[in-house]
Structure formats: structure tokens, C-alpha cells
Structure 1
Amino acid sequence: MVAWPACKVADRTKGRKVTILRQPTRAGVRDAAEKIARILPPTPLYVHEIKGMKVAFKAESLQPIGAFKIRGAWHRLTALDAESRARGVVAFSSGNHAQGIAWAAKRLGMPATIVMPADAPRAKLEGTLALGAEVVRYDRATESREIIAARLAEARGATLVPSFDDPWVIEGQGSAGIEAEAQMAALGLGAPRRVVVPCGGGGLSAGLALALKDAAITVVEPEGWDDMRRSLEASWIEPVGPNPPPTACDALQTPRVSPLTFDVLARRDATGVAVSEAETAAAQRWAAEHLRLVVEPGGAVGLAAVLAGKVAMEPGLLVILSGGNVDIDAYARAIAG
């Protein structure tokens, strides 16, 4: 296991530095929302009736990088001091976090290195490279991205930014909930009462749990990769089992969730469901037909759970469409059915 570096915080009263383990907070989510509002407009909120019930859809697929990951990346990198920014950042990702980090680093003038799987979707790889990041490839089946990234960061003196196991990243992702709450109120829908959210490592769902303290949280994962669901049911962390099935949801292939995200969700009594590949593809088709949105498989699993009847219909239902970075050939096959 790789031990992530703890946060160094200056103790002004005693003139020394102490090491603490920073926790994500709702105040941090609000700070992140204010930061992001200064540089990006809110992503659209669509409303559509399903089985006679109005459902709100937060289109994070329409972010500049095509996914919500831009939020956590911006909040994390802007928290670094000038010296740390000069040394750069290292991250690991199948593509959406990669592009978020690359986008934020480019805007801040920082060097960025991203560890990406050799089978990452071409669109995500090309998007990361186009933003000026260096990409280091690895074999998902035989190598550890965490170890590779940690070694690179240590060798370069760079800041390591994991895709979900980081308090700033969690807070940044939660800013989507602050936006959605205001948008739903403006449309007369009231406050979100249940949020249905795609889950890989749990950064987005944990951030939303902090942002929307009165809403129930339902995380959705692909079948066979539903370790957060099983962990929440067991009350301890359960990793993905051996030989998990193939899935089109490349963004949600996280073999083990982190204590940081699990703790936030467990304290909020979050629940989880799993969806099949066929249900996910059907949700992609529904989003294209009814919302006119391109949504990647991992970004469509929340919608898939609603359409499949795995989440009860109720007022105040908010579904997060977390990403839209598709492989065009795979997307064409999904849409064709």
C-alpha cells in the first residue's frame, strides 16, 4: 500500500510545522464552490418527467473537459503555494481526472504528469495530451498506478493528487451540489431530497454528501465493481473481488475505495446499487434521445439505476450525469443498441 503524504500546516503560535490529517468539510465545499464560480459558469440543470415524476439532471458532461473532475482539480491545485506549483503535480487516472488536472495545471502554469492505463479511451488520452500534460502509460492488469505515481512524485518533488483520496478533491467535487441546490430552488423544485450519483472511488458522492446535508445519497456502480455498495452494507471497506467482469465504465474501475470517502458516506447512511452493462447502454440512449446529451458509460450509471427501477421515484430527485467523454465507436454501438 502507498501511504499518501499528510498535510503540512504552519503552527503560527509555536513557530513550527506540525503534521495533521486534514478532513474534507462542508465549509471547504462552499469555499470550493466560490472558487469555481469565479472561473466557470454553472453546468446546466435539465428537468424531465419519468413515470410522472419530475427528475433533475445535473449535466457535468458539459464541463470544459467533459466531466466533473475539473472541480476537484481546480480546488486542489489552487490550494498549493507558489513553491509547490513550480515543482508540478503528478496524478493517476483513466482520463477524466487526468484532464481535470491537466486543465487546471495549464491555467496555473504548472507542469503536470499523469499516469494513465494503456487501455484508456483514446478521446481521454488525446484530451490530456492536448492540454499539455506528460502522460506515463501502465498496464492496468499487472502494474499499480498508485506506486508508479508516488515514485514519480517523490523523484520530482511534485505534489501527488489522487483522483478521490484527497480532502480538497472531495470538497471540489461537492461544489456541483451547491450549484444544483440553487438551480433546483430557482426552478421551484425545492431542495434535493435524494441524489443519485455515479461512484468509482467516491470523491464525487462524498463531496455531494457534504454539500447536501439533508439529501439522501445513493451511489451507483457497474455490476462486479460495486465495492462501495458492498462496503456501505458491511460497514467496513470491501475491495472489488478477484477477476471482476469487463465494463464499459472505465471511469468507475476502482478496485478499492478509500477510508476518506467511505467514512463520509457511511456517516451519512448512504446506500448503493449496481447496474448492468445493458442498463448503462440503455441510459446512454435515453440521455441522447430525451436530453440531447452525450453521456459516457460511467457518467450514465445513475440514470441507468433510475430507469431500471432500482431507485424509488420521489420528489426532489437529483441525478448526476458525471461525464461525457466517449469513445465515438463504442458510443455509436451503444446508441444503436
Structure 2
Amino acid sequence: MSAAIIFGMSLPPTFDPARAQALGRETLDIEAQAVGTLAQRLDVSFAHAVERMLAVTGRVVVMGMGKSGHIGRKIAATLASTGTPALFVHPAEASHGDLGMITGVDLVLGISNSGESEELTAILPLIKRMGVPLVALTGRADSTLGRHADVVLDTSVEKEACPHNLAPTASTTAQLALGDALAVALLDARGFKADDFARSHPGGSLGRKLLTHVSDVMRGGADAPRVGLDTSLMDLMREISAKGLGMSAVVDDEGQVQGVFTDGDLRRLIEKTGSSADLRSLRARDVMHANPRTVHASALAVEAAGLMETSRITSVLVVDDAGRLLGALNSNDLMRAKVI
């Protein structure tokens, strides 16, 4: 059999697509089973680990070698973004000066499936001499790491997903899942809310949704379309055209919103009265749509987006507590702010 050609690349003649698919399913089954078994044996040691991490006044220092180190970096990042100050320190670098990054008010979260990683075990006596608490994620409680730890969390797996039972696969999945479990338990215990998460992710979409207020994106002042109750229909249309929002607020002498008139309202008015009707005698109060949808300037921009979606409108008026017009915004303003 000749080698297959896919996208200009040669595949070995022994490649079997069906076998690849079967191995993929088997890998997912093995790793899912590893996590399921981990959940079944999770005991009071987990609560003790959470208590220790909550009591830390410094940072959680995550350490691990090889694949465990890669998992450790992710766990440290997750902890830091969910209210638990954390950082990753490479064990090999710790022996050459980075141990100074660990202080007496910190806690070390050591990760090693075997519990015998030389670079990590070499510094365990120094960590304990500093009086720093040690929580271990290991597949062997009786290992060097396990014996030094104040709390041991068992991440052992029956077998790796690797056909040779060598490459860290199911074991690293178990480590990652348990790290996430710690982060979730900690954020709950700290009362960490969605807006707290947003403040640590200001550049992300969630941050924009939870930190951007209507006042940040609305068109205010002279940019907000408005006319008085007795403004002629012709002048009302000029205001709509000038401000480019496809609508205008109608306000009283105190600036309180009394109604709104849109391009759609104009089309419906012409359909109702006929194109031959004289519209010049009409005033804003005669054609406005009373009690329009409004939003407060202090509301989240995502709330305004939700109001516009449920009400099937593309623009909304912004008011203060007294119902006075402060501004307006439309869906384009929200898209530019990347709220929607």
C-alpha cells in the first residue's frame, strides 16, 4: 500500500484512520474514568488543603517538573485569576536562586505523580525548614513528596492513556482537575464574585461585559438627539438625521423623557395617513411613542444590550433617576465597545 497524501503531506503506509479514531475514544474514556475515580475518593484531606490555602497571608507557590510543571503553571494562573494570589516557581531554578521567591508567609503546592522528582525533592527540606506549609498533589502518598507534605491529595490513576502506559496523560488530567477543584472551592470560600473575576480580566470579553457601564458608551450632551414637545415634525426629522441614531427623544421643559420618535414611526405614520397628507402641522407630541424604553446611565452596558434584544429595538434612551434625558446609545455603540 502506498502512502496516502493528505493536504500535500505524506502519511506512513501503516496509518489506520479507524484505529486513530478508536484510540482517541479510548483516551477520553480512560481520562474520564480517572477524573471520576478521583471524585469518588476525594475526602477530608481536600477540605484541609483548602483551609491551609485560605489561611495563607502570602501566595500559593506552585511547583512541579516536566508535564507536572506545565499543569502547575495552569493551576497557578487559575488560582491567581480567581482570588488566590499564586505564582509558579520551577524547582530546578529554585535550587539556583529562585527559592528566594518563597517567603515564610507562603504555601507550596508541590505536584509530582511519582513524588520523587529529584529537582523537587531536593528542596523539600529547605521548604520545611522555612516553616512553609506544603500541600502535595501526588500519585504516591508514601513518596518523598508525600512524606514531607502537611496535606496529601491523592492523584493516582489506574493507568495512563498512553498505549505503553508511560506518557503522562491520565495522571496530568487528574492533576489539572484537582487543581481546578481547589480553585473553585477557594473562590467560593472567599466570596469571589463575577465582578471580581472581571476586574482581573479587564481585557477579556467577560471583563468588558461586567465592567462597562452605559455611561461609558452612551452618546451624551449635544450628541444625544432631543426635541421639545411642540417641535414640528419637520424639525424633529432634521434632529434625527443630524444625530444619526435613527430616532430622537421627546422631552418636556424639565428635560424629562416623554416619548420617542423613530424612522420606523415615520414610515408607519406615512402608511397610516397617506403620502398626500400634510404632515407639516404635526408636532412631536402628536407623533411620539409615549413611555419609551429607557436605561439608567449606571446600568451595565450588557443590560442595555439585553433590553434592546428583548424589546426588539436598536436604540435606547439613557436617563437619570428622575427620568431626565442624559444620552442615548444604539447597537453599533455596543458593538464598538465589544460588549456584544
Q: Same fold (TM over 0.5)?
A: no
The structure, 1 or 2, with the larger RCO (C-alpha pairs under 8 Å, 6+ apart) is 1
TM-score between both structures, scaled by the size of structure 1: 0.23
Structure whose alpha-carbon radius of gyration is higher: 2
